[in-house]
């Protein structure tokens, strides 16, 4: 009798299983891509503006007036030490000097232009001409570098009131930044960072802080003033494309780096009660798991609790109808 009872029970279970088989077969099996948390070093960052500059520069400042016959360079050109910058037209220079002296004489009222004054002006013109005759008829670069200014025009008299040209070295460019006073405390000597310049599209450069000024200054910012501290940084590599005077935008770390466990935003959902959750895959099923989240970055969110580093979760959590059976999606070759 006992055997019959066991057989009847087994038969009932089998019949029930057969009845449930269509529902089991019809249960959705979602194709999913699995991922794990990604550990990355992170530090809060802030942006500041600055400019590329050369720590070494030389000015070409002749102490005599002259008229350039040819100007062979332009601002922004690279020149070698001793390279010819301009040639001097001696005849035009003599005429220009005499003409300038005469103009000064014409500007004086007749009652002031005494014979002594006329003689003094004539003597000044004569001395300028004598000085000119003893000067070289060529101007050459005082050092190798980039011409940051050229104040010479062909056929126009140059007067020694400003440098004829300025050359800046490009062998060791640096960056000068203006950092808001509230951010300076997070910086340190030797700290590395990256920066960009509008003049080089898609270019990313690196630099290292070499000096933080002990003094703060007031800087015009829009319609008001802002207190900033100047920071100098050595450019690691300019790849031959940076020039003194370029404007720059730097991204600096606001503190020490720390390791974060990150998941892409599409792997984390939020329910109506404000709980963040993911789908963890266990034995072929996606199971809902509530997690704690922290910092929200540009493309990922920090997971601070509720998930192990090596647990596999569904990348596109929103594609699932809920907890269900899953299989790995085939990767395209």
Predicted confidence band of residue 146 (pLDDT cuts 50, 70, 90): confident
Q: Which of 22-36, 79-93, 171-185 has the lowest mean pLDDT?
A: 22-36
For 251, the token pair is: 């991204």
3-class SS of residue 28: coil
Q: How far apart are the first and last CA of the chain?
A: 62
Please determine, for residue 19, whether its predicted confidence score (pLDDT) is greater than 90: no
What distance in Å separates the CA atoms of residue 103 and residue 93, rounded to the nearest whole number? 15
Question: Largest Cα–Cα distance of the chain, in whole Å?
Answer: 153
Model confidence pTM above 0.95: no
Buried b (16+ CB within 10 A) or exposed e, 276-289: bbbbbbeeeebeee
Domain boundaries, the chain: 27-42+258-328, 49-55+174-253, 62-162
What distance in Å separates the CA atoms of residue 231 and residue 211, rounded to the nearest whole number? 6
Please determine, for residue 148, whether its predicted confidence score (pLDDT) is greater than 90: no
- What are the pLDDT digits (tens) for 261-282? 999 999 999 999 999 999 999 9
- What are the pLDDT digits (tens) for 244-254? 889 999 999 98
Task: Give the CB-side neighbour count of residue 91, counting CA atoms within 13 A.
Answer: 0
49-55+174-253: CATH topology is Elongation Factor Tu (Ef-tu); domain 3 (2.40.30)
Q: Which of 58-62, 260-264, 318-322 has the lowest mean pLDDT?
A: 58-62
Helices (H), ranges, 175-285: none
According to CATH, what is the number of the domain 27-42+258-328? 2.40.420.20
Whose CA is closest to 92, among 66, 112, 113? 66
Name the residue with tokens 């300038």.
100
Q: What is the DSSP letter of 246?
A: -
Predicted confidence band of residue 20 (pLDDT cuts 50, 70, 90): very low
- What are the pLDDT digits (tens) for 91-118? 888 888 777 766 655 555 555 445 655 5
């Amino acid at each position: 009798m006992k055997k019959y009872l066991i057989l009847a029970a087994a038969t009932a279970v089998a019949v029930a299983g057969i009845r449930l088989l269509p529902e089991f077969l019809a249960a959705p099996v979602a194709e999913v891509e699995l991922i794990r948390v990604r550990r990355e070093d992170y530090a809060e960052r802030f942006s500041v503006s600055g400019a590329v500059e050369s720590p070494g520069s030389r000015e070409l400042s002749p102490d005599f007036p002259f008229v350039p016959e040819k100007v062979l360079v332009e601002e922004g050109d690279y020149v070698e030490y001793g390279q010819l910058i301009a040639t001097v037209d001696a005849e035009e220079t003599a005429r220009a000097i005499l003409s300038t002296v005469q103009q000064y004489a014409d500007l004086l009222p007749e009652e002031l232009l005494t014979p002594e004054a006329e003689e003094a002006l004539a003597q000044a013109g004569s001395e300028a001409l004598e000085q000119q005759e003893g000067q070289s008829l060529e101007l050459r670069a005082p050092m190798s570098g980039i011409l940051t200014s050229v104040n010479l025009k062909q056929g126009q008299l140059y007067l020694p009131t400003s440098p004829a040209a300025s050359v800046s070295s490009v062998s060791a460019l640096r960056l000068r930044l203006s950092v808001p006073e509230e951010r300076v405390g997070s910086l340190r000597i030797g700290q590395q960072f990256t920066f960009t310049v509008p003049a080089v599209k898609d270019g990313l450069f690196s630099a290292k802080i070499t000096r933080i000024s002990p003094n703060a200054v007031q800087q015009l910012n829009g319609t008001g003033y802002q207190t900033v501290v100047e920071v100098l940084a050595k450019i690691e590599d300019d790849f031959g494309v940076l020039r003194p005077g370029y404007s720059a935008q730097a991204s600096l770390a606001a503190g020490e780096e720390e390791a974060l466990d990150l998941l892409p935003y599409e792997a984390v959902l939020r329910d109506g009660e404000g709980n963040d959750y993911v789908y963890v895959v266990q034995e072929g099923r996606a199971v809902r798991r509530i997690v704690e989240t922290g910092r929200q970055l540009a493309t990922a969110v920090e997971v601070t609790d509720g998930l192990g580093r090596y647990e596999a979760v569904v990348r596109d959590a929103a594609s699932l109808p809920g907890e269900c059976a899953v299989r790995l999606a085939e990767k395209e070759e």
